């Protein structure tokens, strides 16, 4: 489901980037700018912060791409960097507010997601978008890491400096907030999905 996995870059371009070729880096940036920025924006909700995270991510890619051996897909490698930078940012933000990773549920009242103009059927992506935006940062981040980026609870716990159980419980709480809008009713878009997956 992760958009990162769908993006393929010619290995020769990666090799050129490893030698510092600015044109090769421009191609890599063009290919990955949207998933990196979208992920950052999804986590932080603040465009200026997402821009900072995207900048740090691509600078890190430039610093480290010579170490990329191609054992994993480039997209997975870049996703790791982006997630790491985004979580680092969130940690610093939480630290600045003297909050722990676990206690931001108090910032959002339980009824927020359901009362935010959410219809009973998510045929409009904006409904889910709004519901996600109303989740606390930790819950939203874990939903995204687990359900979109495909990380396991163990990996999420490790990345956040917490336990596997922490990830599971946070996901559970997030699901409870989202549940009112999760009535099964969706269009058949198999053909277009297949085409998107094949790219």
Partner 1 sequence: MPDETKDEEMICGLTADERDVLLWGLNELPETMPPRAVWNRIHDQAQAEGLIRTTVTQRPSTWFAGFGIAAAVVLSVIVVPRLMSTPDPITPYTEPPATAANNQPEVTALQALMVQSQQLESDLRALPEEPSVMRASTIATLSDIEDAIAAIDFQLNESGVQMTPDERELFWRERVRLMKSLVRLRYAQAQRTAF
- Answer for the pair 50, 32: CB distance below 8 angstroms, yes or no: no
Least distance CB 88 / partner 1 (angstroms): 17
What is the rounded distance in angstroms from the CA atom of residue 23 to the CA atom of residue 21? 6
Which residue, 22 or 98, is less far from partner 1 as judged by CB? 22
Least distance CB 109 / partner 1 (angstroms): 20
What is the rounded distance in angstroms from the CA atom of residue 89 to the CA atom of residue 157? 16
- Answer for the pair 24, 14: CB distance below 8 angstroms, yes or no: yes
Least distance CB 99 / partner 1 (angstroms): 24
What is the rounded distance in angstroms from the CA atom of residue 154 to the CA atom of residue 184? 29
Residues in contact with partner 1 by CB under 8 A are 1, 3, 6, 8-10, 12-13, 16, 19-23, 25-27, 29-31, 33-38, 41, 47, 50-51, 54-55, 58-59, 62-63, 122, 125, 127-129, 132, 143-144, 147-148, 152-153, 168-169, 171-172, 175-176, 178-179, 182-186, 189, 191-192, 194-196, 198-199
Which residue, 97 or 197, is less far from partner 1 as judged by CB? 197
What is the rounded distance in angstroms from the CA atom of residue 138 to the CA atom of residue 186? 28
């Amino acid at each position: 489901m992760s958009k990162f996995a769908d993006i393929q870059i010619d290995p020769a371009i990666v090799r050129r980037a490893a030698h510092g070729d600015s044109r090769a880096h421009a191609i890599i940036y063009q290919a990955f700018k949207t998933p990196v920025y979208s992920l950052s924006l999804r986590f932080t909700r603040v465009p200026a912060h997402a821009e900072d995270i995207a900048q740090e991510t691509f600078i890190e890619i430039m610093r480290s791409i010579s170490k990329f051996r191609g054992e994993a897909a480039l997209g997975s490698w870049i996703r790791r960097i982006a997630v790491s930078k985004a979580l680092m940012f969130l940690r610093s933000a939480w630290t600045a507010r003297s909050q722990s990773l676990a206690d931001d549920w108090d910032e959002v009242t339980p009824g927020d997601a359901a009362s935010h103009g959410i219809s009973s059927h998510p045929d409009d992506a904006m409904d889910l978008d709004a519901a996600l935006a109303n989740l606390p940062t930790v819950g939203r981040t874990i939903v995204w890491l687990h359900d979109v980026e495909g990380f396991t609870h163990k990996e999420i716990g490790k990345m956040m400096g917490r336990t596997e159980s922490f990830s599971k419980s946070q996901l559970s709480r997030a699901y409870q907030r989202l549940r009112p809008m999760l009535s099964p009713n969706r269009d058949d878009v198999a053909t277009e999905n297949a085409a998107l997956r094949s790219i």
